[in-house]
Chain A
Amino acid sequence: MGRRIILLGLSVLLLAAGCGDEPGVGMEVPVEGTISGPSTPTPYALEVPAYLPAPIVDPENPVSVEGVELGRHIFYDAEILSTDGTMSCASCHRQELAFTDGLDRSLGVRRLAGSRSAMSLVNLAFNPNGFNWDGSAPKLWEQAIHPVEDMLELDNDWEEVLRKLRADADYPARFRAAFGIDNTAEISRELTIKALAQFERTIISADSKYDRVVYHNTDFFTEQEQLGADSLFFVENLPPGALHPGCGHCHNAPSFGDNKFHNNGLDDVASLDDFIDKGLGGVNGNRFDNGKFRTPTLRNIALTAPYMHDGRFETLEEVLDHYASGGHDVENEDPNITGFTLTEREKEALLAFLHTLTDESLLTDARFAAPH
């Protein structure tokens, strides 16, 4: 008898629930979380000068006008991203510093230093893989997962980020416009980081004096800059016995990086197991890759001090002195870290050349600035 009453009750409940899902004919019953507005993303035409290669296409994350704009909003939104509302991606990637932060190791919301220096975000559209100093993110859009959660960075919880995004008055419509979703429940971590990546892909830096001289033929190097380029940077004719292959060996134009990982002779360790920061080896578990880090681009290098993955060098002069000293002969050191004679004249010339890689227009380009 009791079981019959329960079954009858359940049947009535099911019937009522079933009726609740069916709106009356001709009636619009708003569903909680429904998003209205445009839902067809407009393909974004990335502006890339002819002297840069065609950007890498990520079929998993096609770039749209609406996606880029959404990404830009999130990139600068401290309220959404950090646990205490004080920090966003832009806190460590400042436009006026070519999207770095001027610190040796970035400070998070707790004002504690992380383990590495903030990398510049320019020209990521040309990186095929291995984002971050240690190559830990295979794809650009995967890169943003960790900083949000890291207690030494934004120290937030993705569920909390999504809760805020879904409850926001503006973001749901932007997500719909960018990804065609219908309901706030569809706002996900994946869509959020994909939007961030779409914005980051648009940050192209290619308007330096170097570009004007070499590619546009609208400017000239000074004698000193030319000496820096010829004597130590782009060494085309290495005389027998000369050891330095030229900075361009790993920092070749037009990218001024090589998308590879090297031990560039920073640490004097007794064995490959003794690196404090193992870099690539810490990610792939291969001890022979310990102490190897991604080659950063030298575009805007005059703005991105301090240098190296841990910001150990405050100035470019210190960096040049390091390379001239020839590393520490650790067995997985890049064989092109050989040491060389560097006169004061050559050093000044090389520094002058490195300053020609600064893209002034990048620093104030409204497309990359905080949205109003």
Chain B
Amino acid sequence: MKHLLLYLLLLLGLTACLDDDDLPAVAETDLTLDFRAEYGGEGLAIQREAYGYPTGDTLKLLLFQYYVSDLELLPAGGAAPVRLAEIDLLRWNSASDSATLTRSYRVPAGEYVGLRFGLGVKPELNAQDPSTFAADYVLNEAEFWGPTTRYVFAKIEANADLEGDGRFDTGLSYHMGSDALYTTVEFARDLRIGPGQTEQLTVVADVLRALSGNGETFAIDNPDQQAVHGGNQAVAQDIWNRLAAQFTLEVR
């Protein structure tokens, strides 16, 4: 009994010594992640460029944006994902916007096997009233259908020249979002992130590939397909599907 007590005291003492300071420190490092918007493989130029469309029409983009939820790095070895951001909004709406938006994070240095995010606002947040959040929070940028309804996950807006007369006079407005549309996008890539990170990660989204791909092109000249808001989501279902499927991760 006496020996047992002695043993327990010794164990307690050892446990007390093993505080956080004695664990091997996981070095944190800076990670910059770029989000690039393109049209047909070229950097997106809001308003400045007249883009050709597969139907022979021409359009000028005025807005491209999308929410990402649970942006995460996937560690090698199956450890818990490293969350970079719970929610973010990537938006291009000015002619002076760069095609590439840069975000910075602090992450544990190490080996990773991928990057993933949810395209849209994840259901837990999508169920929230925007007024839950501060007026300058990313979920309070008037990107919701109504005062109590769900968020607009992604928007593509443009003015199109459908007559070939040089006038960009047909508005195109595609607003998409609902819990049913929420889609996980995952890139399986070996990534080494450490002090002095040399690999530059870029998530690329191509608006043209969202509108046209795999032999299908969204008919922007159909008057029934020029405005998608709220309840007529089905009209833009194929835009959403292509948008979610076209993301690429560039590692340089």
Instruction: Compute how far the CA of A287 lies from the CA of B48 in the bound complex, rounded to whole angstroms.
Output: 10
Of A9-17, A86-94, A245-253, which binds chain B? A245-253
Q: In the assembled complex, how far is the CB of residue A44 from the closest CB belonging to chain B, in whole angstroms? A: 17
**Contact between B231 and A237, CB atoms less than 8 A apart:** yes
- State which residues 230-255 of A face B: CB under 8 Å: 234-243, 245-246, 248-250, 252-255
Of A64-72, A173-181, A316-324, A325-333, which binds chain B? A325-333
**Contact between B223 and A286, CB atoms less than 8 A apart:** no
Q: In the assembled complex, how far is the CB of residue A126 from the closest CB belonging to chain B, in whole angstroms? A: 4
**Contact between A260 and B142, CB atoms less than 8 A apart:** yes
**Contact between A236 and B60, CB atoms less than 8 A apart:** no
Of B30-38, B98-106, B133-141, B199-207, which binds chain A? B133-141
Q: In the assembled complex, how far is the CB of residue A244 from the closest CB belonging to chain B, in whole angstroms? A: 8
**Contact between B135 and A126, CB atoms less than 8 A apart:** yes
B51-65 to A contact mask, C-beta < 8 Å, 1/0: 000000000101000
The reply to whether the CB of B181 lies closer than 8 angstroms to some CB of chain A is no
**Contact between B134 and A332, CB atoms less than 8 A apart:** no
Instruction: Compute how far the CA of A284 lies from the CA of B95 in the bound complex, rounded to whole angstroms.
Output: 11
**Contact between B227 and A236, CB atoms less than 8 A apart:** no
Which residue of chain A has its CB nearest to the CB of B130?
A53
Name the contact of A237 in the complex, choosing from B129, B136, B230 (C-beta under 8 A).
B230
Of B19-27, B74-82, B167-175, B190-198, which binds chain A? B167-175
**Contact between A238 and B232, CB atoms less than 8 A apart:** yes
**Contact between A235 and B96, CB atoms less than 8 A apart:** no
Of B9-17, B145-153, B208-216, B239-247, which binds chain A? B145-153
* Residue numbers in A under 8 Å from B171 (CB-CB): 243, 333-338
Name the contact of A246 in the complex, choosing from B46, B131, B169, B229 (C-beta under 8 A).
B229
* Residue numbers in A under 8 Å from B229 (CB-CB): 235, 238, 245-246, 249
Name the contact of A286 in the complex, choosing from B95, B132, B173, B175 (C-beta under 8 A).
B95
- State which residues 273-328 of A face B: CB under 8 Å: 284, 286-289
Instruction: Compute how far the CA of A307 lies from the CA of B95 in the bound complex, rounded to whole angstroms.
Output: 28
Instruction: Compute how far the CA of A288 lies from the CA of B226 in the bound complex, rounded to whole angstroms.
Output: 23
* Residue numbers in A under 8 Å from B130 (CB-CB): 53
Max chain A Cβ within 10 angstroms of own Cβ: one of B136, B167, B232: B136
Count class of interface residues, chain B:
35 or more
Name the contact of B134 in the complex, choosing from A56, A240, A243, A258 (C-beta under 8 A).
A56
Name the contact of B136 in the complex, choosing from A56, A235, A254 (C-beta under 8 A).
A56
Q: Would A128 and B136 be within 8 Å (CB), given that A241-B224, A288-B47 are in contact?
A: yes
The reply to whether the CB of A214 lies closer than 8 angstroms to some CB of chain B is yes
Q: In the assembled complex, how far is the CB of residue B161 from the closest CB belonging to chain A, in whole angstroms? A: 9
Q: In the assembled complex, how far is the CB of residue B99 from the closest CB belonging to chain A, in whole angstroms? A: 15
B110-134 to A contact mask, C-beta < 8 Å, 1/0: 0000000000000000000111111
Q: In the assembled complex, how far is the CB of residue A264 from the closest CB belonging to chain B, in whole angstroms? A: 12
* Residue numbers in A under 8 Å from B89 (CB-CB): none
Which residue of chain B has its CB nearest to the CB of A295?
B142
**Contact between B231 and A125, CB atoms less than 8 A apart:** no
Instruction: Compute how far the CA of A335 lies from the CA of B162 in the bound complex, rounded to whole angstroms.
Output: 14
The reply to whether the CB of B158 lies closer than 8 angstroms to some CB of chain A is yes
**Contact between A53 and B227, CB atoms less than 8 A apart:** no
Name the contact of A238 in the complex, choosing from B129, B167, B223, B228 (C-beta under 8 A).
B228
Q: Would A335 and B159 be within 8 Å (CB), given that A126-B135, A235-B229 are in contact?
A: yes
* Residue numbers in A under 8 Å from B231 (CB-CB): 236-238
The reply to whether the CB of A183 lies closer than 8 angstroms to some CB of chain B is no
Instruction: Compute how far the CA of A159 lies from the CA of B169 in the bound complex, rounded to whole angstroms.
Output: 51
Q: Would A259 and B142 be within 8 Å (CB), given that A236-B149, A241-B223, A337-B171 are in contact?
A: yes
Q: In the assembled complex, how far is the CB of residue B186 from the closest CB belonging to chain A, in whole angstroms? A: 32
* Residue numbers in A under 8 Å from B70 (CB-CB): none
**Contact between A252 and B158, CB atoms less than 8 A apart:** no
Which residue of chain B has its CB nearest to the CB of A251?
B142
Instruction: Compute how far the CA of A239 lies from the CA of B227 in the bound complex, rounded to whole angstroms.
Output: 9
**Contact between A331 and B47, CB atoms less than 8 A apart:** yes
Which residue of chain A has its CB nearest to the CB of B228?
A238
8 more A-B residue pairs beyond the given contacts A52-B131, A56-B134, with a C-beta to C-beta distance below 8 A: A51-B129, A51-B147, A52-B135, A55-B135, A243-B227, A257-B142, A331-B60, A331-B159
Top 3 nearest A-B pairs (CB, nearest first) are: A335-B171, A237-B231, A329-B169
- Residues of A with Cβ closer than 8 Å to B? 50-57, 125-128, 214, 234-243, 245-246, 248-250, 252-255, 257-260, 284, 286-289, 329, 331-338
8 A-B pairs with C-beta separation under 8 A: A125-B135, A238-B227, A240-B224, A242-B227, A245-B175, A257-B142, A331-B47, A336-B173
